[in-house]
Amino acid sequence: MQTFVRADGPDKVTGSGRYVADLSLTGMLHAKFLYAGLAHGRIQNLNVEPARNLPGVLSVLTAADVPDIRYSPVIPDRTLFAKDVVRFEGEILAAVAATTPAIAAAAIELIEVDIDPLPVVNDIEAALKGDCLLVHPDWEGYDVSGDTVRDGNVASFSSIEKGDVEAGMRQADVTVTSRYVADASHAAPIEPRGIVAQWEGEKVTIWTSSQVPYDARAGVCETLGLPSNRVRIIVPHLGGGFGGKCGFHFEAHIAALAKATKRPVKLVFSREEEFLAPDRRREGMVVEITTGLTNDGDILARQAWVGIDNGAYVADAAFFPQLAAMHVGGPYKVPAIKIDAQLIYTNHQPSGSVRAPTAPQACWALESHTDELAAAVDMDPINFRLRNVVRTGDEGIAGQIYEEIGLDRCLQLATDSIGSPTLADDEAIGVAVGWWPSFAAPAGAYAKMQDDGSVQIITGAQECGTGAVMTLRDIAADELGIDVTDIQLVYQDTAAAPTGPGATGSQTLLNHGRAVESASRQIADQLRELAADELEAAASDIVLGDGKAFVTGSPAMSVPIADLAATAAGGDLLLSSASAPMPDWPTVSAQCVGDQEMAAWLAPQFSCHAVRVRLDADTGVARVVEVHTAHDSGTILNPVGALGQVEGGVMMGIGQALSEGTYYDENGRQTNPALLEYKLQTMADAPPITTQFVEINTPNAGPRGSKGLAEAPNVATAAAISNALAKLVGGPLRQLPMTPERVWEAATEIRGRR
Amino acid sequence: MNHTNVTLRVNEVDYPISISTERNLSGVLRETIGLTGTKEGCDDCECGACMVLLDGQPINSCSYLAVQAEGCAITTVEGLADGDELHALQRNILEAGGVQCGFCTPGMLMSARALLDRTPDPTDEEIRIGLSGNLCRCTGYARIIDAVRTTAVELSN
């Protein structure tokens, strides 16, 4: 493979790159939303006439002005604008388009709104009680697809069951029961989302800060009743996403305003809106887990309950319970297991896929519990894990037999890397393992070689910052034997490219990469045929490299690829299209109720993170001193990009561990929707991070034996920090994030018990 | 709203403009003058994406009145390169892999430029503190620190 070139780099360092907020169109209006402002209530009065009468206001829309359609991927439980009832504080009541942002904001203030408060479902365990009011009294009337199991405030239930848990617990020498509670958190990309919509005739073009242009298009089509060919989504540079910009958000509201005003309309979120309004909050979670084991440290049985705070609407979260169950079960050999997991409606902001959804919290709970297990049988936590983790050929918790995997090697490498440094009294080392599936999905690509021998690749992939899209150029260059700078990508435009998942689920390389590989290979085959004629050799003997086609073993017999391209331009053009073939899906033997296809894991990724943490016992302030990671994500194609994913994922994990928690007041409203109160890690907090890759050329996965990588580094860090802190305070930390106050309280409480 | 005529000098070019006295500098740079390289991430001095230099001093332009910048030399990310030649910081942050989504990059570069102007040979700790007002969600920061360190060595030679 050739050296990685970040084609969008110069745009980004010079300021010439355009993000949505940088776009401006002639006649453009500015949009603002009116939000509910309270978590649960019945709308008694909504009078937008005073806003409509304000000079400079061209449109005010409410539920009455758009098609009455319920949407969402699996459980269609919401509408674009609140109708009758509001179920979380960030729910939209009205949208204004005006000539300036200031006039739009003034118009919002003029809207008369009267909402009768209803009792707030503010806690998942309260939501499960029989007398709790239902967040969606009409839940049975929703048109749900798939095998989703629901009941009242339980929006989605899944269980994984294998073997005889009761017998396993009876045989166990020791059982350990733990309870862990994780707060919600946020993706918090630095770019607040923006949207510009413009109609020309019956077609609308929407520039949006989306990770998933095709999902955004589907949402617009569904909610506004439009066919796909009338909606074009373009994403300019995207300022980070981390899952927060997956799904369909506010594109339809802005398209509707643009339609009503016959003008382009722009929306740019404030930081507070970014915290309160999207349906992509990382979910709060409660985990209760019991494990039975022998005195020798063998796990015999595991039983767990997982409660997940869904918030007011399901968004894409229907699969969360099954995925969380897999993470609470963990990458271990567990002969008998039963895990029940519930996605529970509350009056909080909706949860949705943020980088490795459910995994950091569930891994934190499981891996903290695992250190408790090791302690219960007086074993070193690393040795305990080495004894119990799944290895090549082992059966996982859902009964899947794993082909070649590198978890044990990750564990060995990361713990060897951190070694046994001399620790001060206020320091400790913590270790955790994590895992994550690779998601295969349909994706296509076009390729065309132009008359000068350069190549255009047209892909539905979406660059969100990872650089994974740039790696697609490397794959094409490698297939075609030309320089990577001669590959041009056309992407982030639904009018140009075939469909694909976009930047979601670590899928860029896995799915778009396979399509690009296949489309490029077709052009390479055509080049070999042309060269075979030219060089009077068999096509199978032609090799492409260094911009030339040559006969294998006789490099002197060659023809420049550009010459072949010029010849082709006069006749049979060098064009191709390809779909990524769907890999064979693995099977599981466990009984899966409420199956959401999250128990059988294609090409699972594994990791081990080892951290050294320093704790100021007087204040509870923890600092991560160093992080050592090892990852099995298959073959690594873009080392700089891969390292960047691990380092960024670790840093996000440190934030989740120590400072990133969303808090709610007694009325179900977020108390810290700002970056000073919801604290991301800064450069001053950044520890050195080492990374080693266990490169297993994985069949039935991504191009060249690769697997996904963007989410996996975000799984195990918080758990490793938790295990270090547990050593320092003398017992497990039961709440995430492990803020100074909580660490100090835990230490004080544990000291008091002694 | 009071409007006033001011001339702002940005990247060594004078821009005579008429603006409301209450507008912030980032908005005027982006919308009135048309230099959108300066980003807005929070409008509250929390993220640093809007960092520009005012007579060489880094400021969060989201929270600085534009009219107060009259008479100052304003430098934005568009003024960092020398013509088509990238500044060493721009080149090194790319080569180090310190750019992912790129949204924090302009502000990060301006803070780094200011740091190196006042501290040509910074320690890692000085880099960490000097750039701690610029949030990056993508990289984990280490590659940005590398780029600043490399640039310091390069410029001192």
Cα(A752)–Cα(B131) distance, integer angstroms: 41
Res A140: pLDDT: 96
Q: For residue A464, give how far its alpha carbon lies from the nearest alpha carbon of chain B (Å).
A: 6
Report, as an integer, the average pLDDT of A524-539: 96
Contact B39/A683, CB-based, under 8 Å? no
Specify the pLDDT at position A607. 98
Q: Which residue of B has its CA nearest to A19?
A: B103
Nearest CA to A264 among A206, A336, A194? A206
What is the rounded average pLDDT for all residues in chain B? 97
Mutation target among A12, A267, A464, A659 for the B interface, most CBs of B within 10 A: A12
ipTM attached to this prediction: 0.98
Q: Is the pLDDT confidence value at A3 over 80?
A: no
Distance from CA of B37 to the nearest CA of A (A): 4
Average pLDDT value for residue range A600-621: 97
Share of residues in chain A with pLDDT > 90 (%): 96
Q: Both tokens of residue A410?
A: 């990750």
Which residue in A283, A368, A274 sits closest to A321, CA to CA? Answer: A283
Q: What is the pLDDT of residue A1?
A: 44
At A494, list the tokens.
């639904």
Q: Please indicate whether, in this complex, the C-beta atoms of A14 and B81 are within 8 angstroms of each other.
A: yes
The average confidence (pLDDT) of chain A is 96
**Beta carbons of B90 and A239 less than 8 Å apart:** no
pLDDT at A2 over 60: no
Q: Give the residue-averaged pLDDT of A597-606.
A: 96
Residue A104 predicted with pLDDT over 60: yes
Cβ contact, residue pair A641, B97, below 8 Å: yes
Q: Average of pLDDT values for A138-153?
A: 94
Look at the block and give the residue holding tokens 């990750």.
Answer: A410
The shortest CB-CB distance from A465 to any of B36, B44, B101 is to B101
What pLDDT, on the 0 to 100 scale, is given for residue A570?
A: 83
- What's the CATH number for A9-118+193-268? 3.90.1170.50
A192 touches chain B (CB under 8 A): yes
| C-alpha triplet A290, A296, A297: angle, nearest 5° | 40
Other beta carbons within 10 angstroms of residue A391's beta carbon come to 15
Query: Looking at the DSSP assignment, which residues form a beta bridge with residue A632?
Result: A606
Average pLDDT over residues A156-170: 98
The tens digit of pLDDT for each residue in A318-376 reads 999 999 999 999 999 999 999 999 999 999 999 999 999 999 999 999 999 999 999 99
Measure in Å the smallest separation between the Cα of A731 and chain B Cα atoms.
Answer: 29
Residues 21-50 of A with CB under 8 A from B: 21-22, 24
CA neighbor of A170 nearest in space, from A287, A334, A304, A294: A294
- The minimal CB distance from B140 to the residues A239, A640, A647 is found for A647
Given this model, what pLDDT does residue B5 score? 97
Is there a contact between A662 and A723 (Cβ–Cβ < 8 Å)?
no
- Are β-strands A735-736 and A455-459 bridged in parallel, bridged antiparallel, or unpaired? unpaired
Domain at A285-439+587-753: CATH code: 3.30.365.10
Per domain, the residue ranges of chain A are: 9-118+193-268, 285-439+587-753, 444-579
Boundaries of every domain in chain B: 3-79, 88-156
Whether residue B86 is predicted with pLDDT greater than 90 in this model: the reply is yes
- The reply to whether residue B97 touches residue A650, judged by beta carbons under 8 angstroms, is no
Mean pLDDT of A543-567: 95
Q: For residues B30 and B77, what is the distance between their CA atoms, to the nearest angstrom?
A: 12
Whether A87 contacts A42, CB under 8 Å: no
Same fold, A285-439+587-753 and A444-579: yes
Judge: domain B88-156, CATH 3.40.630.10.
no
A427-456 confidence digits (pLDDT tens): 999 999 999 999 999 999 999 999 999 999
Mean per-residue pLDDT, A663-681: 97
In order of A74, A238, A614, the CA distances from A211 in angstroms are 19, 8, 37
Whether the upstream peptide bond of residue A737 has omega within 30° of 0, thus cis, is yes
Give yes or no for A189 touching B (CB within 8 A): yes
Question: Per the structure block, which two tokens stand in for A439?
Answer: 């998601």
Q: How far apart are CA A190 and CA A245, in angstroms?
A: 12
Q: Is the pLDDT of residue A201 over 80?
A: yes
Per-residue pLDDT tens digits for A380-420? 999 999 999 999 999 999 999 999 999 999 999 999 999 99
Give the model confidence (pLDDT) of A499-509 as tens digits: 999 999 999 99
Please tell me the distance from the alpha carbon of residue A587 to that of residue A584, in angstroms, as a whole number.
9
| pLDDT confidence tier of residue A5, bands split at 50, 70 and 90 | low
DSSP string, chain B: --EEEEEEEETTEEEEEEEETT-BHHHIIIIIS--TTS--S-SSSSS-TTEEEETTEEEEGGGSBGGGGTTSEEE-GGGTSBTTBPPHHHHHHHHTT--SS-SSHHHHHHHHHHHHHH-SS--HHHHHHHTTTS--SSS-SHHHHHHHHHHHHHHH-
| Res A223 pLDDT > 80 | yes
How far apart CA A286 and CA A365 sit, in angstroms, is 9
Residue A10 CA to residue B77 CA, distance in Å, equals 12
**What is the number of alpha carbons within 13 Å of residue A363 lying toward its C-beta?**
29
Are the beta carbons of A646 and A691 closer than 8 angstroms?
yes
The residue ranking higher by pLDDT, A467 or A369, is A369
- What does the block give as tokens for B152? 């310091």
Share of chain A above pLDDT 70, in %: 99
Q: How many CB pairs under 8 A join A and B?
A: 164
Cα–Cα dist A718/A651, whole Å: 10
- Span A674-692, mean pLDDT? 97
Half-sphere exposure of A647 (CA within 13 A, CB side): 26
Q: Do B38 and A643 touch (CB under 8 A)?
A: no
- Residue A22 near residue B84, CB atoms below 8 Å: no
The CATH code of the domain at A444-579 is 3.30.365.10
Q: Are B101 and A189 inside 8 Å of each other by CB?
A: yes
* CATH entry 3.10.20.30 includes domain B3-79: yes
Any CB–CB contact under 8 A between A490 and chain B?
no
> Amino acid letter at B23?
R
